[in-house]
A and B are shown apart, each in its own frame.
Chain A
Amino acid sequence: MNLFYIDTSSSYLYSGIVSNNSLKASRKVFFGSELSKYALNEISKMFEKINILPKDIDKIIVVAGPGSFTGIRIGMTIAKIFAFSLKKEITTLSSLEAMAYSSNFDSIKVPILDARRGYVYAGVYDENNNIILNDQYILLEKLQKYLNSLKKEYIFITNDSKLANLNRTKYNPDILKIVNMVKDRKSINPHLVEPLYLKLTEAEENLGSKNDSRVTE
Chain B
Amino acid sequence: MIVELQNNDDKYISSLEKLFSNVFLEGDIEKEINNNPYLKIYMYLNEDDILGFIEIYQIYDRIEIANFNVLESYQNQHIGSKLLEYIINNAIDNQMKNITLEVRSDNEKAIYLYKKYRFENVSIRKNYYGKVDGILMKKDIIKEKDIYILGIESSCDETSFSIVKNGVEEIGTVTSSQINIHKLYGGVVPEIASRAHIKNITFVLEECLEKTKMTMDDITAIAVTYGPGLIGSLLVGVECAKTLSFLYNKPLIPVHHISGHIYANNLVKRLEFPLIALVISGGHTELILMEKDYSFKKLGGTLDDAVGECYDKVGRVIGVEYPGGPVIDKLASIGKPSYNLPIPLNDDSYNFSFSGLKSAVINLVHNEEQRGNEINKENLACSFQNVVIESLTTKTMKALKEYNINNLILAGGVSANMGIRDSFKKLCEKNNINYTFPSVKYSTDNAAMIASSGYYAYLDNRISDLTLNPVSSIELK
Contacts and interface: CB of A to CB of B under 8 A. Distances in A.
Interface of A: 34, 36-38, 40-41, 43-44, 54, 69-70, 73-74, 76-78, 80-82, 84-86, 190-191, 194-195, 197, 201-204, 207
Interface in B166-211: 184-185, 189, 191-192, 194-195, 198-199, 201-203, 205-206
Given A81-B202, A197-B195, A201-B195, A40 B242 contact: yes
B239 interface: yes
Contacts of A82: 243, 247
Nearest to A86: B247
B204 to A, nearest CB: 10
A128 to B, nearest CB: 34
25 contacts: A37-B468, A40-B239, A40-B243, A41-B465, A43-B246, A69-B232, A70-B231, A73-B194, A73-B198, A73-B232, A76-B198, A77-B235, A77-B240, A77-B243, A78-B239, A81-B240, A82-B247, A84-B205, A85-B248, A194-B199, A195-B195, A201-B191, A201-B192, A201-B195, A202-B191
B191 A203 contact: yes
Contact of B184 (A80, A85, A190, A207): A207
Contacts of A74: 235, 239
A202 B185 CA distance: 11
B132 interface: no
A154 to B, nearest CB: 33
Contacts of B469: 34, 36-37
Contacts of B470: 36
Contact of A73 (B216, B236, B248, B465): B236
Given A73-B239, A78-B243, A207-B185, A195 B467 contact: no
Contact of B247 (A34, A54, A80): A54
The interface centre, meaning the residue of B184, B205, B247, B469 with most chain A CB atoms within 10 A of its CB, is B247
Interface in B449-474: 465-470
A44 B466 contact: yes
Given A37-B469, A69-B232, A84 B198 contact: no
Interface of B: 184-185, 189, 191-192, 194-195, 198-199, 201-203, 205-206, 216, 231-232, 235-236, 238-240, 242-244, 246-248, 465-470
Contacts of A38: 467
Given A36-B239, A40-B239, A41-B466, A85 B191 contact: no
Given A38-B467, A195-B198, 12 more contacts: A36-B238, A36-B239, A36-B470, A77-B243, A81-B239, A81-B244, A85-B205, A86-B247, A190-B202, A197-B195, A203-B189, A203-B192
Contacts of A195: 195, 198
Nearest to A45: B466
B232 A80 contact: no
The interface centre, meaning the residue of A34, A69, A73 with most chain B CB atoms within 10 A of its CB, is A73
A194 B200 CA distance: 10
Interface majority SS (helix, strand, loop, mixed), chain A: helix
B189 A201 contact: yes
A52 to B, nearest CB: 13
B232 A70 contact: yes
A76 B198 CA distance: 8
Closest 7 CB pairs of A and B: A37-B469, A77-B239, A41-B466, A81-B243, A84-B202, A201-B191, A203-B189
Contact of B198 (A44, A77, A203): A77
B467 A37 contact: yes
B235 A70 contact: yes
A74 B470 CA distance: 12
Contacts of A36: 235, 238-239, 469-470
A69 B246 contact: no
Nearest to B236: A77
The interface centre, meaning the residue of A190, A191, A202 with most chain B CB atoms within 10 A of its CB, is A191
A203 B247 contact: no
The interface centre, meaning the residue of A44, A54, A81, A191 with most chain B CB atoms within 10 A of its CB, is A81
A84 B206 CA distance: 9
A47 to B, nearest CB: 8
Nearest to B248: A85
A203 B467 contact: no
A168 B274 CA distance: 65
Given A41-B465, A190-B202, A191-B202, A81 B247 contact: yes
A40 B202 contact: no
B477 to A, nearest CB: 20
A37 B239 CA distance: 9
A81 B201 contact: yes
A62 B477 CA distance: 37
Contact of A191 (B194, B203, B242, B466): B203
Contacts of A76: 198
A54 B202 CA distance: 18
Contacts of A202: 191
Given A36-B235, A84-B206, A85-B216, A54 B246 contact: yes
B191 A69 contact: yes
Nearest to B243: A81
Nearest to B199: A194
Nearest to B215: A85
Contacts of B205: 81, 84-85
Contacts of A77: 198, 201, 235-236, 239-240, 243
